[in-house]
Structure formats: C-alpha cells, structure tokens
Amino acid sequence: MWGIIPAAGAGSRIQPLAFSKELLPVGSRLDAGTERPRAVSESLVERMTLGGADKICFVISPGKSDILEYYGGVIGSAELSYVVQPRPAGLCDAIFRALPLVHAEEQVLIGLPDTIWFPEDGLRQLPDGLLSFLLFPVDRPEFFDAVVTDDSGRVLEIQVKKSNASSSWIWGAFKMPGSILRELFQVWSERDRSDEYFGTLVNAYIAQGHDAWGVRVGQAYVDVGTLHGYREAINLLATNPSSDSPIPEKSRALVPPPCPARLEVTTRQSQSAVQEKAEVNTQAPHVSLDAMAIRQKVRELGDWFHNLNLHGVPTAPNHFLGDYPNVKWQTFAHAIPRDLRGMTVLDIGCNAGFYSIEMKKRGADRVVAIDFDDTYLAQARFAAEMENTEIEFHQLSVYDVARLEEKFDVVFFMGVFYHLRHPLLALDLIHEHVARDLFVFQSMQRGCSETCQPKDDYRFWETDIFDMAEFPRMFFMENRYAGDPTNWWIPNRACVEGLLRTAGFEVIEHPETEVFVCRWKPATEDARPIYPARGRGLAETARRSCAETFSPP
C-alpha cells in the first residue's frame, strides 16, 4: 500500500522559517530513552504506516531537500521515495506527480503533512476498493473542505472553503485504489488540469456518476499551517499523547521495525455447558497463507454475505449492497465506544464475523459470537483466524440465548430481526438473559420513515389511526421478499422504536436509518417473555394429574 504526502507547498502562512514547514517541531518522541523534538509530518507518516502503508512517496519542491535529508530512504517498515513538483500548482498536480509509481490494484493513502489528528488509527477505518474520505468534525468548516453526505455515507458534494458550509465534517485524509486514482487523473486532464483543489475535482468525478464515501470516525483535527494552529496542535498533543513513532533513517541509526503488538486476552471459563464446548480462536501463531490459498479457502466456504478483506482478498466483492457490511458500519461506528477494554460483547447472528472482529479491534476483553448457520460460523472462524483474533463461537439460535448464562456489556443484533417468525419474543429473550447495558439493533425497514408518539390507549372505534402512514406497522411477507423466504417481518421506523421500548430498550442514538443504539432498562411486568412449555409437556402432566386424582386408595 502506498502513502502519498504532498509536501511541495511554500508554507507562507507560518513563515519565516529556516526549514520546510513539514519539519516544524510539534510534540516529541523517544530516541533510545531520550526525548527529542518530533517533526509535524512524522504524525502523518505514523498514521499511514498504522493504516497499512509500506511505501511512502513525498512530493517535494526543488528547494525542500531538507525533507529528504531528514527522512532518508526508510522509516520503520516503510520504504520512502521522493518526487519533485517543479513549481506550485495545487494539490491535484502534486498528488498526480506520484501516479506513475502506483499500480492499479494497489491501495493509496493521501494526507496533509502539516496536520495533527486523532484517532491515530483512523486510516484503518477506510475501506479498500473505494474512494473514501476520513472525516473530522470542526467548528469552522469554512476554512476547510466540508464534505456533505447522505445517511448512508455517500458523498453528495465537497464544499471547498465555502462560507455557511452545510456540513461541519471536513476531510483530513483519503484512500482509494490506484485504478480510481487513474480515473481521477483522467477527469482532471479532461478539465484541462484546471482543478487546484481536490474537492472540486471530486465534485466533477461524482457528477460523472462515480461514487465517493465519507467515514465519520475522526475525533480531532488541527491544521498546523498557522501560528494559531501550531498552538492548538501543542494543546491537542498534550491531551492526546502519541505512541512512540518510527524514527527516520537520517535522524538516528536504522532500528528494526517494531513487531505488531499481540492481543492480550484473558480466557474466562464459563459455568455454562454450552460455553465449555465453545470453539475459541486461540493465540497460536498467525496462519500465513498467500492470496491464492486464501482465495481458494474463501471459495470452499461457500457464498459469503459479509464482504471481508482477508489480507487483500475480498470475500464478497460482487455484493449487491457494495462493500457490505463495512459501508453500513462506517455510518454508525462513531456511535459505538472506541475503547471497549474491560467490556464483554455478544454478537447475535454473527454471520461471517465482521462486527465481532471490529469489536476486538476496539479492545473488547471478550467477544462471543453466535449463529445457527454452520456455514456462516465456518466463515467467521476462518476470518477470525486470518485476523489472529480470539473470538468464542457457538452454534445457537437467538431463542436459545438463555443457555449462555451470562450478560454482556454490549450486544449486537444486526440484520436478524426480519428473518424471525417470532421477532418480539427474540427481543424479550435478549433483554432478560444477555443484555446488560448497550444494545445495538439493525433491521431492514420499509414504509414510512417518520415516527409518532403513541397514546396510552385508543378507543375501540378509533380506526383512522390504522390509515396513518407513520403509525407503527410491520409487513408480513407470506412468500419471498428479495428472493429470500426467511424475510418474514419488515417493520417501519415507528414500529421498530415501539418494539424496542416495549422490550425494555431505550433508544439513545439513531445514527443511521436502520440502526438504533439503545440502553437496557427494566422492562414492565407484562413485557416479560412467554416461554413454551418445558419438561414432560402439558399432556403428560395432565394425564398424571388425572391419574393421581382418580386412582383408588
């Protein structure tokens, strides 16, 4: 994966400096136990390597040889190269100077070297194969490129330094495959290379029918190109100390790149018999397979519904919903705690394990994933193995969650509800047996997207409510919907909210059309789940009772 760093600008807003603005000291790092100043551009280099870049190209002007002197040819595990932009001609020109280095199938990360932003691993959240922007919330979007998206995250427009911008989210970095970089270059060339700003070029690209996506996972963003921004960056770093970054080759003797930190997981023994039999991905050495072997295994495991990126191999590249469920996840990831250390997570209907793996990436102490489909479980186990991630898997239906004999801090229930013949019972069982705090719910919806506040009671003859589009309703599909015979019940928004309240879940955030983040609260007495008969059965119980009553002494 390539990282392209446009560093040819003059930095007039923060001059006079006796060196390139990309080498402005902002923060510090440890060098053999000694604290030393850290160049501002090291922050972006570090984030690119965390995002997967193993090759980084600096685009510099002829007078910026000090950047080459500072970094040399290697930083950590990334090899460095340099391309010269002969004269200032805007961001687009600078980026495309590196185009000859990039193959069509390679992924490319692009960021600005005089910025400081968090989270450090933000670039990891950008999907492969798409043009996607890492977005950050700011107070003054008119100073930046504000990105306007729809509810799904699709970019509608980039407003370049526009007063009264209609979005407070700006792009701070972006990612795409080399093939899209070439498409953008073609559009730029067709427009006589007139675009200086990348935002105007992307607007033209979108107008031609192409897609771009915004990923709202950024937390803080500072442009260090002004004196005010420099002070803000110092304050931001004081409250968000950075981990030690790789040290540039020219700054000290080359050191071996650090090994990736291994996940620390404490295995907990459960009293439940079903957990004693759980299949757990242990921390044995990571299985090393080449792309061909992974692709073969993916085919052997059947059709995938989750499009996972397993070391460059997509599992469902032709998914009718696109890069699913990653495109869905990006629209609500910000609503889930980023730090799950000390927490347990249950993923009900885990499918191929996308959300389970994401929760482990956020540091969850323990993730339990259940699904009744053994094909999906086999896919999930393989994916977790490829990610070297410890997850407990059980073949269980949602109706059997009581067998886990445990409550969890976070419960995911994604894309299962409408496949159930008894959906409210499922919510009741989740509430009573496994949910303790956060409940993340997603369901396909149809009908009216508005909601309504129900009255405490309705008169028997009050029938006009059933003609209201926004009244809670759930559509029953007797045969098939979208070719799937298990799409039984499809609610509208008001119905989803009512069902969640009835089951004892308070909606605290609705970050995406189909997603509701809820908090567990005690359910009313009449909302307790109704269980089927257990034990010998009613008929046998009745016979025995009758025999005992009428048997002679």
pLDDT tens-digit series, residues 61-80: 898 888 998 888 888 778 99
CA distances from 276 to 107, 279, 280, 370 (A): 42, 9, 10, 14
State the pLDDT at residue 487. 84
Question: What confidence tier does 318 reach under pLDDT thresholds 50, 70, 90?
Answer: confident
Q: Copy the structure tokens of residue 214.
A: 């915004």
Domain parsing of the chain, residue ranges: 2-9+17-250, 322-453+464-527
Task: For the chain, count helices (H), then strands (E).
Answer: 14, 26
10 Å CB burial of residue 139 (0-12, 13-18, 19+) is exposed
More confident residue, 258 or 547: 547
Contact partners, residue 359, CB within 8 Å, separation at least 6: 340, 345, 347, 367, 410, 412
Spatial separation of the C-alpha atoms in residues 490 and 417, rounded to whole Å:
9
Task: Name the average pLDDT for the chain.
Answer: 82
Mean pLDDT is highest, among 6-20, 150-164, 289-303, 345-359, for 345-359
pLDDT over threshold 70, residue 263: no
pLDDT digits (tens, 9 = 90+) for 414-459: 989 888 989 989 999 999 999 999 999 999 888 888 888 888 888 8
Amino acid at 389: T
pLDDT over threshold 70, residue 526: no
Q: What's the average model confidence in pLDDT over 464-471? A: 83
Question: What confidence tier does 483 reach under pLDDT thresholds 50, 70, 90?
Answer: confident
* Nearest residue to 306 via CA among 280, 327, 279: 327
State the pLDDT at residue 294. 86
Q: What would you measure as the largest C-alpha separation in the chain, in angstroms?
A: 111
List residues bridging with 59 in a β-sheet. 6, 83
List residues bridging with 213 in a β-sheet. 132, 154
Question: What confidence tier does 256 reach under pLDDT thresholds 50, 70, 90?
Answer: very low
Model pTM above 0.75: no
Q: Which of 97-101, 259-263, 408-412 bottoms out in mean pLDDT, i.e. has the lowest?
A: 259-263
Helix (H) or strand (E) holding 497: helix 493-503
Spatial separation of the C-alpha atoms in residues 92 and 8, rounded to whole Å:
12
Q: What's the average model confidence in pLDDT over 178-203? A: 93
pLDDT digits (tens, 9 = 90+) for 295-313: 889 999 999 999 998 888 8
Q: Which of 226-240, 256-270, 323-337 bottoms out in mean pLDDT, i.e. has the lowest?
A: 256-270
Q: What's the average model confidence in pLDDT over 216-239? A: 78
State the pLDDT at residue 168. 92
C-beta of residue 508 within 8 angstroms of C-beta of residue 407: no
More confident residue, 167 or 481: 167
Q: Token pair 């018999």 is at which residue?
A: 273
Can you say how many angstroms the Cα of residue 207 is from the centroid of all Cα atoms in its chain?
A: 27
pLDDT over threshold 90, residue 364: yes
State the pLDDT at residue 16. 58
Q: What's the average model confidence in pLDDT over 8-27? A: 70
Task: Please name the residue ranges forming H helices in 301-434.
Answer: 326-332, 354-361, 374-386, 423-433
Q: Summarize the chain as % helix, strand, coil (round to 5).
A: 30, 25, 45
Phi and psi at residue 393, in whole multiples of 5°? -115, 140
Spatial separation of the C-alpha atoms in residues 146 and 135, rounded to whole Å:
9
Q: Which of 51-60, 255-264, 512-521, 528-537 bottoms out in mean pLDDT, i.e. has the lowest?
A: 255-264
CA distances from 40 to 65, 242, 316 (A): 17, 12, 39
Does residue 351 sit in helix, strand or coil?
A: coil
pLDDT over threshold 80, residue 209: yes
C-beta of residue 1 within 8 angstroms of C-beta of residue 107: yes
pLDDT digits (tens, 9 = 90+) for 153-175: 899 999 998 888 999 999 999 99
Kindly report the CATH number that applies to the domain delimited by 2-9+17-250.
3.90.550.10
Q: What is the DSSP string of 203-263?
A: HHHHHTT---EEE----EEEETTSHHHHHHHHHHHHHSPPPPPPPBGGGSS--PPPPPPPP
Q: State percent of the chain over pLDDT 70.
A: 81
Kindly report the CATH number that applies to the domain delimited by 322-453+464-527.
3.40.50.150
State the pLDDT at residue 70. 87
CA distances from 288 to 284, 291, 292, 311, 377 (A): 12, 10, 12, 10, 21
State the pLDDT at residue 311. 83
List residues bridging with 134 in a β-sheet. 173, 215
Helix (H) or strand (E) holding 475: strand 474-476
Q: Which of 261-265, 312-316, 490-494, 518-522 bottoms out in mean pLDDT, i.e. has the lowest?
A: 261-265
Q: ∠339-344-349 over CA atoms, to 5°?
A: 110
Spatial separation of the C-alpha atoms in residues 427 and 398, rounded to whole Å:
9
State the pLDDT at residue 260. 32
Contact partners, residue 286, CB within 8 Å, separation at least 6: 388
Would strands 107-111 and 392-395 be described as parallel, antiparallel, or unpaired? unpaired
Q: How many CA atoms lie within 13 A of 80 on its CB side?
A: 24
C-beta of residue 213 within 8 angstroms of C-beta of residue 126: no
pLDDT digits (tens, 9 = 90+) for 231-252: 777 777 766 655 445 555 544 3
